[in-house]
Amino acid sequence: MMPLRLPQSLAARLALILFIGLVLAYGLSFSSQFYERYHTGRNVMLTNLSTDVSTAVALLDRLPANERAEWLPLLERRNYRYRLQPKPLGEPMNIQQAPLAAHTIAQAVNPRFQPQFFNVPGPMPHFQVQLRLTDGNSLILDVTPGGIPIAQWLPVVLILQLLVLLGCTWLAVHMAIRPLTRLAQAVDQLDPDTPSPDLVEQGPSEVVYAARAFNTLQGRIAAFLKERMQLLAAISHDLQTPITRMKLRVEQMHGSQEKDKLWGDLSEMQHLVREGVAYARSMDSAAEPECRIDLDAFLDSLVCDYQDSGQPVRLIGAADGSLDKSTGGSGTIINTRPHALRRVLTNLLDNAIKFGGSAELHVQSSASGILLQVLDNGPGIPEAELAQVLQPFYRVESSRNRDTGGTGLGLAIAQQLSQALGGRLTLQNRPSGGLCVTVELPPPL
């Protein structure tokens, strides 16, 4: 026997519990009322049966024998009728097992009529009572016991009441779960880079308290990250001045091996400081307004800048889905922040050229949006470190040469800006060798 499984969602569980509880409570209430109505109706019916039978038998006993047949239709009822026949059908009844109607008739009829009870089998079992009138003739009372009549509209009312219970249950669960669902969605969408609107502080006191607490938490997180980024930007910016002075002093030194080493160290420090400032600014990329651009023309311009400087970069595909792209764009319009998008692609193309010697920018159109893929032929990244390389200042020393001057911020900046553009950046190693970086942008307008 398989164990019963509760529904997975909280709403379904609450609805099930409330609905079962309401149905049980309603069923108990209806059962008690129906039981009381049944007993009351049965007592009234038996009382009427006793009065009616005693009166009818007394009337037929006083009538002349030739007039009794004319009165039988007048005395007939829905569940019992009178017949003038010599003997009843069926077999004698055990009075100890007789129905209540038989006991009522036995008490209502005068003992001098000598009532005898017989069971009559058949498709509709019933019983007959043989009575001996004063003149010696036989009178048969044929009784077909029936249940308490039920109104035809009662099942319809029961169904409507169950539907009302179901509707009230759904409404109560919906009102109870909706604030929790909104809170869960807000927590799931909580992003320090793109703060979501505050939750509406309305409803029951518990809901207002939870919404206010979440809004306060979101504000604190945003303020903390903003302060941290401002601190990083300020430190990085202030370091540029002493580094520049140090480079000027190194230039005045006489040529020596130490001078070349100091110059290299200062250049690496200056590059690291600039990347730190760029990373801090990428956290506040929402300051750039969005605008409509021709994506294919934008990508073609970017790739041409690399090719003009002698860099091995190729553009393959187009945003409209064609494999061959004509210069000037295909007219695919997207709404984005062009400077942020250029910085994302520039970082990815620079990494591909630096670590793979060349880069290919593939453009594809899918149902979910525009896919921009930057492919290289470099050593790739170990699978265990694909997620870690997106963290700031993380470097894969086993596959990236430290002499190239990488700071570990290029991919982190690209990821931050991709999220700010409403996209998603993912990394995967190519089966033929090298790395494939995919930036998925929202679909075009």
Q: Report which of residues 11 and 381 the model is more confident about.
A: 381
Contact 423, 442 (CB under 8 A): yes
Distance CA 59, CA 82 (A): 12
Which domains are delineated in the chain? Answer: 10-143 (3.30.450), 189-283 (1.10.287), 288-441 (3.30.565.10)
Q: Are 71 and 63 spatial neighbours (Cβ–Cβ below 8 Å)?
A: yes
The pLDDT value recorded for residue 322 is 56
- Give the bridge partners for 365, in sequence order: 370
Predicted confidence (pLDDT) per residue in 19-78, tens digit:
888 788 878 887 887 788 777 777 887 788 888 888 888 888 888 888 888 888 888 888
Cα(397)–Cα(389) distance, rounded to whole angstroms? 11
Contact of 259 with 253, CB cutoff 8 Å:
yes
Token pair for residue 366? 């899918």
Per DSSP, the three-state class of 290 is coil
* Cβ(235)–Cβ(261) below 8 Å: no
Q: Are 328 and 320 in contact (CB under 8 A)?
A: no
Owner of token pair 């023309």:
297
Query: Could you write out the DSSP letters of every residue in 182-209?
Result: HHHHHHHT--SSSPPPPPP--SSHHHHH
Taking alpha carbons only, the member of 353, 365, 344, 356 closest to residue 426 is 344
The answer to whether the pTM exceeds 0.85 is no
Quote the pLDDT of residue 279: 63
Residue 330 has pLDDT above 60, yes or no: no
- pLDDT for residue 376 is more than 80: yes
CA-nearest of 93, 95, 102 to 144 is: 102
Token pair 């453009």 is at which residue? Answer: 363
pLDDT at 392 over 80: no
Give the E-state strand segments of 209-332 in sequence order. Answer: 291-294, 313-317
